């Protein structure tokens, strides 16, 4: 058993059971006498793993038959380019909802390939991040697609409903929330997600795309960036990241055992509530970063009203095995990432520590005031 709770935003915690299985199978996968990472990607062993992972993902997300699923290298960042390269050949206009660093990066990359319009931007109101009401978005009627990031990982800003686009295909970067809550795949033209947050190990990215959106890409773009090619070769045009694919397969099987997305969602809500409740209980001590209605259930972000105590907070957390709570290098502050694999006991341990830390601080300020008098 591990002795700490890892709140890392990504690469993130994996289910212990998955790591133990990977360990047990490391030297000899299923009687082959080889590690799975030593077996050919076109051999029957790896082909079976690949097919099972896709079948499990399709089952967990109820992916309809007219959607293709790809397992690709390059991270979500490669999709920032692949999406416009493949979807802007016929119509070069697209809308982006920019609600944080990742959607900004996606928009900046897309602008190299087409006419990209920012239809809405997150804003700060009384120190809290928020998303404009949809009535204020300026969507383009004849755009090729609308891109958004359902959960902005760095700020912990999460859409609580699916943007309405009037029939324009919706593209979603689900890297930090895929399988954390139920989604209706039919609402989307394309979904992509890097694996290292909710899905497995870095190195592999899932793309779920409606078949009719796969078209001739822009001219003179790298072969490996064509969705058409990946459909034709079922993600096996060249050597895929086999070990990452295998780990993702183990995570998907683990998710099924947990009761699927509905059960994971319930657990995720409970975990997030434990921590948000403490933030709300001590408003004079903790400062949540995000407006209540857009609070992420994956990445809880906050500052201390007295920022000088931040290092003491990390030290107190570490003493209890609560690690990697540091906010992203661009935003600072505190961020507790609690993806699917993060255990509920860890959320409870953090909430308890935060309550005690706030009490302890309140007492020491009272004493300091007394001394000052
Ligand atoms: C982490 C993250 C990315 C970056 O993924 P890479 O695999 O490093 O390219 C992109 N989008 C979101 C929403 C993320 O959380």
Residue-level pLDDT at 140: 96
| pTM summary value | 0.97
Q: For 3-20, how does the pLDDT look when each residue is reduced to its tens digit (9 = 90+)?
A: 899 999 999 999 999 999
Ligand 1 pocket check for 310: Cβ under 6 Å: no
Residue-level pLDDT at 330: 86
For residue 42, pLDDT beyond 90: yes
Residue-level pLDDT at 3: 84
Ligand 1 pocket check for 109: Cβ under 6 Å: no
Q: Does residue 158 contact residue 131 with C-beta atoms inside 8 Å? A: no
For residue 193, pLDDT beyond 80: yes
Whole-number Å distance between alpha carbons of 143 and 94: 5
For residue 315, pLDDT beyond 80: yes
Using DSSP, state whether 210 is helix, strand or coil: strand
Ligand 1 pocket check for 8: Cβ under 6 Å: no
- Distances in Å between the Cα of 172 and the Cα atoms of 82, 151, 313 are 13, 10, 35
Q: For 219-275, how does the pLDDT look when each residue is reduced to its tens digit (9 = 90+)?
A: 999 999 999 999 999 999 999 999 999 999 999 999 999 999 999 999 999 999 999
- How much is the average pLDDT of 192-197? 98
Q: What confidence category does residue 366 fall into, taking pLDDT thresholds of 50, 70 and 90?
A: confident
For residue 167, pLDDT beyond 90: yes
How do strand 170-173 and strand 286-288 relate by DSSP bridges?
unpaired
Return the ligand 1 atom nearest residue 149 CA.
Answer: 13
For residue 369, pLDDT beyond 80: no
Q: For 126-154, how does the pLDDT look when each residue is reduced to its tens digit (9 = 90+)?
A: 999 999 999 999 999 999 999 999 999 99
Residue-level pLDDT at 119: 98
Whole-number Å distance between alpha carbons of 342 and 280: 22
Residue-level pLDDT at 225: 97
Running DSSP on this structure, what letter comes out for residue 326? B
The residue whose CA has the least distance to atom 2 of ligand 1 is: 175
Running DSSP on this structure, what letter comes out for residue 164? P
Residue-level pLDDT at 68: 98
Whole-number Å distance between alpha carbons of 240 and 242: 5
How do strand 93-98 and strand 115-121 relate by DSSP bridges?
parallel
Using DSSP, state whether 303 is helix, strand or coil: strand
Q: Does residue 274 contact residue 348 with C-beta atoms inside 8 Å? A: yes
Q: How far apart are the first and last CA of the chain?
A: 50
Residues β-bridged to residue 208: 69, 191
Mean pLDDT of all residues belonging to the chain: 96
Let me know if 226 is exposed, middle or buried by CB neighbors in 10 A (0-12, 13-18, 19+). Answer: buried
The residue whose CA has the least distance to atom 3 of ligand 1 is: 76
Q: For 72-130, how does the pLDDT look when each residue is reduced to its tens digit (9 = 90+)?
A: 999 999 999 999 999 999 999 999 999 999 999 999 999 999 999 999 999 999 999 99
Q: Does residue 64 contact residue 209 with C-beta atoms inside 8 Å? A: no
d(CA 194, ligand 1 centre) in Å: 6
Whole-number Å distance between alpha carbons of 260 and 264: 6
The residue whose CA has the least distance to atom 13 of ligand 1 is: 175
Q: What confidence category does residue 370 fall into, taking pLDDT thresholds of 50, 70 and 90?
A: confident
């Amino acid at each position: 058993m591990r002795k700490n709770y890892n709140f890392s935003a990504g690469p993130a915690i994996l289910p212990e059971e998955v790591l133990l299985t990977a360990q047990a199978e490391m030297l000899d996968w299923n009687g082959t006498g080889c590690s799975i990472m030593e077996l050919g990607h076109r051999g029957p062993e790896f082909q079976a793993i690949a097919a099972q992972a896709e079948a499990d993902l399709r089952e967990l997300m109820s992916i309809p038959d007219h959607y293709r699923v790809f397992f690709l290298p390059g991270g979500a960042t490669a999709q920032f380019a692949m999406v416009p390269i493949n979807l802007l050949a016929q119509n070069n206009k697209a809308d982006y909802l920019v609600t944080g660093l990742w959607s900004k990066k996606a928009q900046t990359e897309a602008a190299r390939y087409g006419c990209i319009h920012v239809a809405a931007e997150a804003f700060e109101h009384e120190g809290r991040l928020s998303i404009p009401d949809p009535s204020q978005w300026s969507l383009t009627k004849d755009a090729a697609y609308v891109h958004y990031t359902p959960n902005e990982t760095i700020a912990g800003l999460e859409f609580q409903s699916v943007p309405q686009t009037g029939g324009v295909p919706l593209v979603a970067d689900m890297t930090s929330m895929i399988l954390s809550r139920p989604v209706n795949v039919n609402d989307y033209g394309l979904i992509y997600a890097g694996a290292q947050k909710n899905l497995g190990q870095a190195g592999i990215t899932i793309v779920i795309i409606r078949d009719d959106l796969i078209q001739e890409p822009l001219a003179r773009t790298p072969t490996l960036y064509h969705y058409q090619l990946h459909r034709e070769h079922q993600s096996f045009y060249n050597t895929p990241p086999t070990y990452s694919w295998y780990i993702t397969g183990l995570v998907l099987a683990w998710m099924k055992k947990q009761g699927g997305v509905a059960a994971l969602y319930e657990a995720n809500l409970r975990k997030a509530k434990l921590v948000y409740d403490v933030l709300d209980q001590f408003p004079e001590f903790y400062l949540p970063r995000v407006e209540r209605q857009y609070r992420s259930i994956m990445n809880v972000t906050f500052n201390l009203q007295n920022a000088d105590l931040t290092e003491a907070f990390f030290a107190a957390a570490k003493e209890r095995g609560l690690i990697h709570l540091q906010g992203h290098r661009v935003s600072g502050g505190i961020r507790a990432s609690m993806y699917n694999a993060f255990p509920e006991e860890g959320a409870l341990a953090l909430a308890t520590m935060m309550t005690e830390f706030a009490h302890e601080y309140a007492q020491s300020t009272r004493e300091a005031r007394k001394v000052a008098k």
